[in-house]
Structure 1
């Protein structure tokens, strides 16, 4: 089976309050259990805000490190889930269910390169 990355993109700025995040967390817990029961879930995680990022690059043989995200934007990667699915249609269905569980944010579904046995 191929592996797919389900990326959660969120707008910049502060996070919603517990009245919004509480139900989302419960929805995600249920969905993750459904993914595990189906043998689709590999792992997932939420990320700290982009201002905690450090960008590492090499220029003229020197390693340079800068604080902050690689690119400024209105949206940033807020979290992700890696799944196993037999095909893109199945992965898109998990992406649809993730979008429904969160309810507010877009989900990008992308296959990893090459076939990955899991």
Structure 2
């Protein structure tokens, strides 16, 4: 099964907090997930300041500079992994280095069957 591990941290302290992981530590962990065969994709994101939010309401598109919502922690990266079950995905997420100063939201990925043209 596929799981998306969404990494949330406070961008203001991401690299200055005493427990902040170094880039080489993050790279080493990503390499270990890749070597285990569970890695599908992983990327850090640009600053939340570069975000653009799109909404469609009553047939009209609204585009807003900035993130979807004001929060203390921002989405700063992700891992898309393969895991046997939620427990295995949680174990992977628990060892993502940034989890020490932020949090990692783990969500199962639903399959989108384009043949049926229906979202499930």
TM class, shorter-chain normalised?
Answer: 0.7 to 0.9
Distance 1:111 1:13 in 2: 29
Aligned to 1:111: 108
**Superposed CA RMSD:** 2.1
Task: Give structure 1 stretches of 5+ with no counterpart.
Answer: none
1:79-106 CA-partner distances (Å, limit 9, x unpaired) = 11100011111111101111xx233221
How many residues end up aligned between the 2 structures? 110
- The answer to whether the aligner puts 1:51 opposite 2:49 as a matched pair is yes
Alpha-carbon distance in structure 2 between the residues aligned to 1:67 and 1:53: 6
Compute the displacement of 1:34 (Å).
Answer: 1.1
- Report the Cα offset of residue 16 of structure 1: 2.2
Judging by fraction of residues, say which structure has more helix: 1
Report what 1:9 is aligned to. 8
Structure 1 runs, 4 residues or longer, greater than 3 Å off: none
Normalising by the residue count of structure 1, what TM-score does the alignment of the two structures yield? 0.80
Separation in 2, partners of 1:36, 1:14: 28
User: Does the CA contact (< 8 Å) of 2:5 and 2:80 recur in 1?
Assistant: yes
Measured in 2, the distance between the counterparts of 1:80 and 1:104 equals 15
Paired with 2:14 and 2:34, the residues of 1 have a C-alpha distance of 27
The residue that corresponds to 1:41 in the other structure is 39
Instruction: Find the aligned partners of 2:103 and 2:14 in 1 and give their Cα distance.
Output: 16
